[in-house]
Amino acid sequence: MPRYALKVEYQGEPFAGWQRQKDLPSVQGAIEEALSQVQPGQHTIAAAGRTDAGVHALGQVAHCDMEREWDPFRLSEALNYHLKPRPVAILQAARVEDDWHARFSAIERQYLFRILMRRAPATHDQGQVWRINHQLDVDAMQTGANMLIGRHDFTTFRSSICQAASPVKTLDELRIEQVQGFSGPEVHFHVRARSFLHNQVRSFVGTLERVGAGAWEPEDVRTALEAMDRSACGPVCPPQGLYLARVGYPDPVF
For residue 24, give the DSSP letter.
B
- Please say if 52 is a catalytic residue: yes
Please name the residue ranges forming H helices in 70-149. Answer: 72-83, 138-146
Asked if the peptide bond before residue 85 counts as cis, ω within 30 degrees of 0, the response is yes
User: 27-38 and 72-83 helices cross at what angle (nearest 10)?
Assistant: 120
User: 138-146 and 218-227 helices cross at what angle (nearest 10)?
Assistant: 30
**Burial of 180 from C-beta contacts in 10 A (0-12 / 13-18 / 19+):** exposed
Name the nearest CA neighbour of 202 among 252, 178, 175, 237: 237
CA distance 194 to 61: 14
For residue 102, give the DSSP letter.
T
Q: Residues 23, 52, 125, 229: which is the catalytic one?
A: 52
Residues with a known catalytic role: 52
